[in-house]
Structures are given as structure tokens and as C-alpha cells.
Amino acid sequence: METQEKINYQRIADAISYIRLNFKEQPNLDEVAEKVHLSPFHFQRMFTDWAGISPKKFLQYLSVEYAKNILKEKQATLFDAAFETGLSGTGRLHDLFINIEGMTPAEYKNGGQALIINYSIAESPFGNILVASTPKGICHLAFADDKEKAFHELQAQFPNAQYHQMVDHIQQEAMFIFQKDWSKLSNIKLHLKGTAFQLKVWDALLKIPMGGLETYGSLAKEIHLPNASRAVGSAVADNPVAFLIPCHRVIRSTGEFGQYHWGSTRKTAMIGWEAAQIHKMAV
């Protein structure tokens, strides 16, 4: 006899399969719930518990990924991309891109062509940093052991943007964080490109206090998705702004510090440095 857990898993698997096959018809919650023999209310709750996102958000992700492929690989017009994706018009496509990608479909298609990005190399207690900014705020910050490689990683995010090697006031405000002057943190502005889920995780990271640590599980609970630890881990790893968005403060449930995009040794040093600063302030 099948357990209830297996039955529930099969229902979610069937729902995911149905949405994948029929996303161009943009099926609504009632339609998908009926296919797996659940009420819309119970299906919404069960799907969110298992998948970590709502059925609507899952459908949006599929739609945007498909539209991105059409825009990039086929060089389709925005109208054609909206039509092919099953959306009612370019306005819907625009809204989805803003919500999921943090940019308009036109900006995605042209690779940030109209974007002007200033960048510079700065020093920190943990090695050189490449910091980049738009007029809206910091868009990228990465430890630059290899300066050329770090710049290429920045370019890969916005291949058609205009880059100027220069220090601006937005970068200067951000660098105060390494001068132990944390009174100016509220002055730091960020300009991020990410999915709604990633932005939610990065916002939660910003709430971890200096010197504090959280596990991936506790971070998932913080955003009210307790079963989404793996998805949270992926979003943490995709953080484009080192230190300012403190992904280094997230550790494993075992107490181990775990891996870090810019090196586990650097992560250990950063955690220790912050703890030391907090201790000095308390004495």
C-alpha cells in the first residue's frame, strides 16, 4: 500500500509535468489542481511545501526561461516572444521579466546595452576586490585574486554594457564597510539582477547582523519556505555582491563553515574578523 507521502509526491510530480507540457496555455490554479484531484486550496499549499514556490511562480519561471531562449537564441521580437510563450501581450512579458529577472525583456535581449557600469579594484582585509556600480547602486562586488578573470565574470553578466574603469561615490560608500565604520551602511545602495526568489534570499541575508551566523535551514524558515533549503543554498551561492550581501554568514547545520564562492579560507577569515570587531566594540 502506498504511503500518503508517496501519493502526495506523485501528485506534485504530475502537476509539474502538466505545467511543463502546457505552460503555453498558461493554466490557472483551478485547472492544474483538478488534474491532480485536489482542491485549489490544498494543491496550492502542497505544491508550495514540496517545490518551495507557488504553482503560479513555477509557471512564471517556465514562461520567462522560454521567452529568454526565444529572445536570445532566435532573436525574436518582444511581440513574438510573448505570443510564443502564451502571454496576452508584451505588457505581460515586461511585467514577468521585471518580477523574475529584475530587468526588462529589452534589457535582457541587448545584454545591458544601455547600461553604464563603473568599476574599480579596491583593497580589503581579505584581498583585492572588484567593485562595480550603475547610477542606481552597487551591481557587482567580487574578490579579485585574478583581476582579469574577475572583470570577465562581470562582463559575462552584462556583455553589452559600457564599462568605465573609475571610482565613484557609490563605490566609496560601499567600501566604508571595510574601514570598521558601520554607521554608513544605510548609505549603500544596491542594483541587483535576480529572480524574485533570489532577491528574497538576498534580502534575508542582509538581515543577518554583523558577527552573526545562520544555517541554510534557518534562512529558509526566515523567508517562510522551510522545505526550500537547497533552493536557498543555490540562491546564496549566486549572490553577486560579496560581503555587502553577507552570504559568508551562512553555515551548515553541523556547524561547519562549508564552501564559499571566493574560497573557504577567506570565508573563515571573514567570520573571524567580524567576531573580533564585535568583541572590541563590546569591551
Residues with Cβ within 8 Å of residue 47, at least 6 apart in sequence: 12, 15, 54, 55, 58
171: three-class secondary structure by DSSP: helix
| Predicted model pTM | 0.60
Which of 247, 250, 270, 271 is catalytic? The answer is 247
Q: Can you give the C-alpha Rg of the chain in angstroms?
A: 21
* Span 222-264, pLDDT tens digits: 888 888 888 899 999 999 999 888 999 998 887 778 888 888 8
Where does the pLDDT of residue 99 fall: very low under 50, low under 70, confident under 90, or very high at 90 and above?
A: very low
**139 is known as an active-site residue:** no
Domains of the chain: 4-109 (1.10.10.60), 116-187 (3.30.160.70), 196-282 (1.10.10.10)
pLDDT in tens, 26-43: 778 788 888 888 888 888
**Residue 60 CA: distances (Å) to CA of 69, 94, 200:** 14, 12, 16
